[in-house]
Amino acid sequence: MIGITVLGSTGSIGVSTLDVISRHPDIYKIVALTANRNAERLFEQCQKFQPEFAVLVDKSAAKTFSALLKESSLKTILLTGVTALEEVAELSQVDYVMAAIVGAAGLLPTLAAARAGKRILLANKEALVMSGKIFLDEVKKHNAELLPIDSEHNAIFQCMPDDFSEGLVEKGVTKILLTASGGPFRDLPLEQLADVTPEQACAHPNWEMGRKISVDSATMMNKGLEVIEACWLFNTSHDLIQVVLHPQSVVHSMVQYSDGSVLAQLGNPDMRTPIAHSLAWPERMSSGVEPLDLFEIARLDFQKADFTRFPCLRLAYQAIEQGGTAPAILNAANEIAVESFLNNKLSFNKIAEVIEATLDASDISRADNLDDILVADSMARKKSLELIGLH
């Protein structure tokens, strides 16, 4: 049996992961499940999957869970606090770690999984955006495996030659075509962007996701973070990555080769496909996803992405070009701006302004070690809060 820890099991990716795993009980065993504060959902998941450990970061949620545990016959051991996330990522009985915590909070536990040499199923793109080379060095040093869950990166991985780590250009790859739906405001008149609500921003046309990534999809910062993620995962420069608007979200991304071939991965927009792919890789297994019906889809559209409508995309390209701590600062400022928007403290069209102003006010330095990253992250959060007026 393959032992699995799911970091962020109560979220959108976590729930899809457990759905796929429940279809293959003879192969996978859940060792640990973790959540921030949703005690009830975590408890339900524990009843179903009987893990050895459950982690709740929030202390008062842990009390609720503890009371539920006492009334049941469940043998799961409850751990609490942030360091417990790292502990359950490192356990010797764990083979695979699903990294599905949202945002910078996922960085340390995902790094712990890398240091313990696990197969990492990486949904938490923010961790890689922040720490890039440091993260990949740990993966290499400890013989860990890194498989992308983000649907675009999973698609690119499937379209890449086997030995792509030896260099994309040498292997005949000329371009990565990263598709993007354009989110709910793709065609909204620009002057109306100031008035959109969190509910409108979270109503994604094709995917059901957590609130933070839904807002990121609406601003297209999600695609910006994905450009940076792709640079690290495929060891390439941002110049080789072109964003392509594709409203149907059926082509999940493409790889173009020097002979004119373009390989694409297609499928219904359902995260259980990349999750099942990365769990079973290099084999294949069923995921519960409906087969693609091309006759029903009938047409596929492609357009250029517009930096005026989506300034966050421009900021992300600039940050990866600058390098060093710039991507970590971009990410931190984005997390603060998105949270403020979700709490009705910042209007939608100001999200990019806050991020740009934070980057302008920050010293970009080298990112040689984890401390450089963590310091840049916390200073950028402070600056963004000051800019929003919430300090």
Interface residues toward ligand NAD, by CB under 6 A: 8-14, 35-36, 38, 57, 100-102, 105, 123-126, 150, 207, 209-210, 212-213, 271
**Shortest separation between residue 151's beta carbon and Mg ion, angstroms:** 5
Looking at the Cβ atoms of 80 and 206, the one nearer to Mg ion is 206
Task: Using CB under 5 A, pick the residue from 138, 150, 270, 335 that binds Mg ion.
Answer: 150
Q: How far apart are CA 336 and CA 332, in angstroms?
A: 6
Looking at the Cβ atoms of 126 and 150, the one nearer to Mg ion is 150
Asked if residue 229 binds Mg ion (CB under 5 A), the reply is no
Q: Which residues contact 323 (CB under 8 A, 6 or more apart)?
A: 364, 367
- Collapse the DSSP code of 180 into the 3-class scheme (helix H, G, I; strand E, B; otherwise coil) and give the result: strand
**Shortest separation between residue 143's beta carbon and ligand NAD, angstroms:** 24
Nearest to 332 by CA among 380, 365, 370: 380
Q: Which residues contact 287 (CB under 8 A, 6 or more apart)?
A: 20, 23, 270, 272, 273, 275, 276, 277
x-or-dash string of contact with Mg ion, 56-95, rule CB under 5 A: ----------------------------------------
**Phi and psi torsions of 265, nearest 5°:** -115, 130
**Shortest separation between residue 145's beta carbon and Mg ion, angstroms:** 20
Looking at the Cβ atoms of 61 and 354, the one nearer to ligand NAD is 61
Identify which range of 43-51, 143-151, 243-251, 307-315 contacts Mg ion by CB under 5 A.
143-151
Query: Which one of Mg ion, ligand NAD, none interacts with residue 14, CB within 5 to 8 A by kind?
Result: ligand NAD
**Shortest separation between residue 57's beta carbon and ligand NAD, angstroms:** 5
Identify which range of 83-91, 148-156, 169-177, 373-381 contacts Mg ion by CB under 5 A.
148-156
Q: Which residue is nearest to ligand NAD (CB)?
A: 11
**Shortest separation between residue 109's beta carbon and ligand NAD, angstroms:** 8
Q: What are residue 5's DSSP bridge partners?
A: 32, 97
Structure tokens at 317: 């390209």
Q: How far apart are CA 336 and CA 23, in angstroms?
A: 38
Burial of 163 (0-12, 13-18, 19+ CB in 10 A): exposed
Q: Give, in degrees to the nearest 5, the angle at Cα 317 between 323 and 373.
A: 35
- Collapse the DSSP code of 1 into the 3-class scheme (helix H, G, I; strand E, B; otherwise coil) and give the result: coil
- Collapse the DSSP code of 160 into the 3-class scheme (helix H, G, I; strand E, B; otherwise coil) and give the result: coil
Looking at the Cβ atoms of 38 and 362, the one nearer to ligand NAD is 38
E strands, 126-166, are 145-148
Interacting residues with Mg ion (CB under 5 A): 150-152
